[in-house]
Amino acid sequence: MDIPRKNLGLEGECEISVVNLKCDTRLIGSYREEPGIFPGWHMNKAHWLTVVLDGTAEDEKIKFLVDMSYELTKK
């Protein structure tokens, strides 16, 4: 989804593409310290991360987080 940069505390007026991903609560704190990864915007911040899709976050980390989110949310 695209959200205003200011919603993540970033400078600028334009929108930024992001994805919300569920994260293991044991790992969520360390991931929030990574560039391009924020507490879940408009989600439960204890379980969700928001990842910007502008190249700031490393592709391999995004892929890992997508896989983890899938495993945590599948039935």
pLDDT digits (tens, 9 = 90+) for 1-10: 999 999 999 9
Residue 44 CA to chain centroid, in angstroms? 12
Give pLDDT, residue 64. Answer: 97
Binned at pLDDT 50, 70 and 90, residue 63 comes out as very high
Average pLDDT of the residues in 6-25: 95
Exposed e or buried b per residue across 44-56, where buried means at least 16 C-beta atoms within 10 angstroms of its C-beta: eeeebbbbbeeee
Domain ranges of the chain: 2-73
Tokens representing 59 are: 């592709």
Residue 52 CA to chain centroid, in angstroms? 6
Give pLDDT, residue 75. Answer: 82
Average pLDDT of the residues in 53-67: 96
CATH 3.90.1150.30 applies to domain 2-73:
yes
